[in-house]
Structure 1
Amino acid sequence: MLAALTSMNEPYAEFAVERDRDVMQRRKLHIDLSDPNLSRLILRLAVPSVVGLSINALQQVVNAIFVGALGAQAIAAVSMTWPIVVLLTAVGQGIGVGTASFISHRLGTGEYLEASRGASTALALAAPIGITITVALLLSLRGVFVTLGAPPTIMSVALDYAATLLLGGTLMLLNIVNGFIVRAEGNTRFSMWTMIAAFTLNAVLDPVFIFLMDLGVRGAALATLVSQIAAIGLYIAYFTQRRGIVLIRISRISFQADCIKQLLFIGAPATTTSILSAIADMLLYRAAAPFGDEAIAAVGIAVRILTVGALPITGFCIGSQAVLGFGWGARDFVRVLKATKFMLSIGLALSVAYSAAVVSFARPLIGLFSDSDNVTEIAISTCIVFHLFFGLFGIQSIVTTMLQSFGKARLSAVVSFARQGYLFIPAVLLFPVISGFNGLLASQAIAELGAGMIALCVLFHQFAELRRALPDENRDYSPQS
């Protein structure tokens, strides 16, 4: 055995020893990605991720409810900060998506050392990038809010909230990447419990900091900061105790161009999509600003409710992505087709159900966030229009996840950029000029509908390509069967 090990390259020998040391324990902790029962496997992976991101969505709701008690200006100020948060997390999501695709492919082909190198390198990239972005935003914060169109009535409140929140910007980015790594190796439950712990802490600290300590919106930001610190502590414990299949080590960091390109290239569409989302939100709030603080608050409430629906579906896609990546890496196209069909049925059901629920119960939902009659009436119409075609979001998300898992970054960009990019941005710039606030509302609905149609066209094309790649004995398999 020793002779065999010494004949191997030293890094591989080291990895083999470390991996064999407690392999049985890790097998118990992780889900077998080759499980033949696909529906059970996907649900076991996805449900914890759905719960985790639903908790994240609930955290946004709880924060908004507490801040809403401070008045329309407070919730308008916090809403103005949302594009900044999205912009910061964009990089984390991009690195995370690329890393998850890299890890699941390598696990599918049995290249455990390469999976560990990808994870270690991703975290090594994320930290300095997060620090750089955070410092740049802090130094230009007032100018950012001016660009966003923040009126003087909410400027000081927005600055207080954003400056405190950005102190944890790098931690937020690292937590996102850590979550993708853990989920990609099949341990979605740990990611779920980490999110639940962070949410619980945030929910407990919100009223303490906001009301008992009389810190106002700054208290809400401080509660989020403390919860991010707690989450990073849990992830550090996870990796240092080697509870995962991939091992995070300084010695595994690789700054070779090929490795970095693979990590960043696949995640580039996700990063760009999130940046486009930040730009879209910026343009949305800027378009709402001429109509007053109440309009900004109403749009902010509607966007929060939209996010509450989107995050569980995103969680389902993130949790399921490892199955698609593993199947693609193993060149098991029958498995990929079956998994995609099942994911589509779940994603579409979730988005249609949420869309119908919000449109039907808009008034009581809005009542959770504001007791102002003017804000409530504006928010109800905004919320209904924003959710008219949200039923198509499930298709968009599944198709984007499928393309990312296949490593088809360019085609993924075509689908993911539509909803808040090349369809929405021209609409939100043009329609409010023509039709005022109603034009602002229409821009979101039209972009959602158009993006759904594009996703459907790409989906049918991908199914046709996958069927052509099947072995002859499986050539008759159809995803509709």
Structure 2
Amino acid sequence: MLIAMLMMMTFNFVDAYFVSLLGTKELAAFSFTFPVTFTVISLMIGLGIGTSATVANSQGKGDSLLAKHQGGVAVAISAILVILLCILVYLLHDPIFLLIGAEESTLPLIANFMNTWLAGAVFVTFPMVGNAVLRANGNTRIPSIVMATSAAINVVLDPLFIFGLGPIPAMGLQGAALATVIAYAVSSFIILKMFNDMEAVSWTSSWKCRWQATKTIFKIALPASGSNMLTPMAMAGMTAIVAQYGEAAVAAFGVGGRLESLVTLVILTLSMTLPPFISQNFAAGRHDRVRSAYRGTIKFIIAFQALVYLLLLLSAKLIGEAFGQDAEVAEIITMLVMILPIAYGAQGVVILSNSSLNALHKPMSALGLNLVRLFLMYLPLAFIGGKIGGLNGVFIGAAIANIGTAVIAWRFVTSQLCPEEVNEPSV
């Protein structure tokens, strides 16, 4: 899973790099799309979490037939929901991006990317939710292959479609979106074929069975989707805060978002593999393994991200120069890389705590934790930091918010899994 995630996050980073070569205005437009596209993806991630927890729970209880019915229902419903959400985004395109902070002159560039991306966004469904079904059944090899294939296709097609080659015209931002859509479409074909070959899901369950599966999945998926969709909403708010400091700041912040996805990939990988492990063992009564898994991953991720931060600190100037074609953009990227990643380990504690709560079928607790992190800590402290210290203060405030929320998350989840340790010193 880690290898596949590395390739997936690399292609997000590659997207940002190729778009940065088009110019600061194009990079800023591309940065504005991230909160919106990530909202759609977050819906799929949330549905994947609900699917994974539900299917893994059924497998843990030994009911593989029910698990197949639940998997098929989850994939079908996810496709319907993403289509409806994309139609809504298309109809409200201009008001959404103006609210985030985009200028009127930037809207046509944003539309070049978004119209193509929205048209093919349904293909996001099958790899994301389909992979969750396979992971819940204990199979991480095929999801890894699917994700790696998608990433490789996107990396190859990006420069071809963005800059053109031979008979392929240069499409700019539209080309970046088209490359992503084609990559997801190929992944969708692979995952659906795997479903058929492995008989991993059932498409022929009765309406009563479908309704029961839908209710069970949605009990976790709806709060989990809501929790995940809070992140891009907060990112939209953060983008609006950063936009007050100019187009160069937005462009740099967009690069920072892609960099964050890359350097936190171990966290994201664990957030995908930990929940089915917890769900299966919890359903099988192995609570000792659940406690051990949670504590072990938290301690590991703090140490690992501390090492990553040191590496980023040493290479901050190089990263800024590589992605900032403009001197001001390069300077802001360098500053961002030196500040925000110091709290990525703490951010990992929150993400893995949320994943664990969803796996334990406590999605409302996970939703509450995310609300605290993003809207009581992250945005307010970033805003206050900006008033005190300008753009530097925005990034420092965001980092402090992640660290504070991590302490809350650790103590809360520990109290749920091992109440006898709640008064022990926090990691």
Fold match (TM-score > 0.5): yes
Name structure 1 gaps, 5 residues minimum. Answer: 1-48, 469-477
CA distance in structure 1 between the partners assigned to 2:44 and 2:356 by the alignment: 20
Alignment partner of 1:351 is 2:315: no
- 2:72 corresponds to which letter in structure 1? S
Structure 2 matches for 1:309-458, cutoff 5 A?
309-458=263-412
Within a 5 Å distance, the mapping from 1:457-476 to structure 2 comes to 457-465=411-419
Tell me the distance in 2 between the aligned counterparts of 1:255 and 1:438: 54
Change (3 A) 1:240 1:413: same
Deviations 1:345-381 (A, max 9, x none): 4333332222222233211122332232111111111
Alpha-carbon distance in 2 for matches of 1:267, 1:121: 13
User: Tell me, what secondary structure is at the counterpart of 1:209?
Assistant: helix
Assess if the C-alpha contact under 8 Å between 1:50 and 1:313 holds in 2: no
Rounded Cα–Cα distance in structure 2 between residues aligned with 1:164 and 1:466 = 53
Q: 1:312 to 1:167 in 2, by over 3 A?
A: farther
Question: 1:219 matched to which residue of 2?
Answer: 175
One-letter code of the match for 1:331? G
Identity %: 23
**For residue 79 of structure 2, what is the amino acid of its counterpart?**
A
Q: Is the 8 A contact 1:400 1:412 kept in 2?
A: yes
Return the letter of the residue paired with 1:456.
Answer: W
5+ long unaligned stretches in structure 2? none
1:362–1:380 Cα contact (<8 Å) kept: yes
**Greater mean deviation of Cα atoms: 370-379 or 428-437:** 428-437
In structure 2, relative to structure 1, the CA distance for the partners of 1:435 and 1:417 (3 Å cut) is same
1:113 positional shift: 1.5
Q: Which residue of 2 aligns with 1:127?
A: 79
Partner of 1:231: 187
After TM superposition, list the pairs within 5 Å mapping 1:2-17 onto structure 2: none
Structure 2 SS opposite 1:110: coil
| Cα gap change, 1:341 to 1:424, in 2 (>3 Å) | closer
In the TM superposition, what whole-angstrom CA distance separates every residue of 1:37-64 from its partner, at most 9, and x where no partner exists? Answer: xxxxxxxxxxxx2222222110101111
- Counterpart pick for 1:247 among 201, 205, 226: 201
Confirm or deny: 8 A CA contact 2:55 2:137 kept in the other structure: yes
Is the 2:5–2:148 Cα contact (8 Å) retained in structure 1? no
CA shift, 1:282, in A, is 0.8
Question: Contact (CA 8 Å) 1:55, 1:199: kept in 2 or not?
Answer: yes
Change (3 A) 1:252 1:431: farther
Identify the residue that residue 260 of structure 2 maps to in structure 1.
306
CA deviation after TM superposition for structure 1 residue 106, in Å: 0.7
Instruction: Give the CA deviation at 1:108.
Output: 0.6
Alpha-carbon separation, structure 1, partners of 2:392 and 2:302:
28
Q: Secondary structure at the match of 1:251?
A: coil
Shift of 1:65: 0.8
Pair 336,138 (structure 1): closer, same or farther in 2 beyond 3 Å: same
Match of residue 273 from structure 1: 227
- Worse-matched range after superposition: 367-376 or 258-267: 258-267
Tell me which of 157, 171, 180 is aligned to 2:132. 180
1:412 is displaced (CA, Å) by: 2.0
Q: CA deviation at 1:467?
A: 8.6
How far off its partner does 1:252 sit? 5.6
Listed as ranges, the matches of 1:96-107 within 5 Å are 96-107=48-59
How much does 1:311 deviate? 3.2
Between the aligned partners of 2:116 and 2:3, the Cα distance in structure 1 is: 27
Q: Equivalent residue for 1:15? A: none
Aligned position for 1:43: none
Residues 466, 102 of structure 1: alpha-carbon distance in 2 compared, 3 angstrom cutoff: farther
TM-score, with structure 1 as normaliser = 0.82
Deviation (angstroms), 1:73 = 1.0
8 A Cα contact 1:116 1:252, kept in partner? no
The structure having more radius of gyration, on CA atoms, is 1
Equivalent-residue separation in structure 1 for 2:78 and 2:227 (angstroms): 18
Aligned pairs (5 A) from 1:25-36? none
Whether the aligned pair in 2 keeps the contact of 1:353 and 1:391 (CA below 8 Å) is no
Kindly tell me: are residues 374 and 108 of structure 1, through their superposed partners in 2, closer, same or farther at Cα, counting changes over 3 Å?
same
Q: Which residue of 2 aligns with 1:109?
A: 61
**1:430 CA displacement:** 4.3
Query: 1:339 aligns to what SS in structure 2?
Result: helix
Offset from partner CA, 1:80-127 (integer Å, 9 cap, x none) = 000111111122111110110011111011011111121111112112
Match of 2:8 in 1: 56
Query: 2:155 & 2:329 partners in 1: Cα distance?
Result: 25
Residue by residue over 1:193-214, the C-alpha shift from the partner in whole angstroms, topping out at 9 and shown as x without a partner, is 1111111111111111111221
Q: CA RMSD in A?
A: 2.2
Q: Find the counterpart in structure 2 of residue 151 from structure 1.
A: 103
CA-CA distance at 1:433 after TM superposition: 4.3
Out of 123, 126, 149, which is 1:171 matched to? 123
Distance change (3 Å), C-alpha of 1:339 and 1:252:
farther
Instruction: Specify the SS of the correspondent of 2:297.
Output: helix
Q: Write the distance in 2 (CA, Å) between the matches of 1:240 and 1:466.
A: 47
Partner Cα separation in structure 2 for residue 225 and residue 72 of structure 1: 24
Larger mean CA deviation between 379-388 and 200-209 belongs to 379-388
Q: The residue matched to 1:291 in structure 2 has which SS?
A: coil
In 1, the alpha carbon distance for the partners of 2:8 and 2:238 equals 23
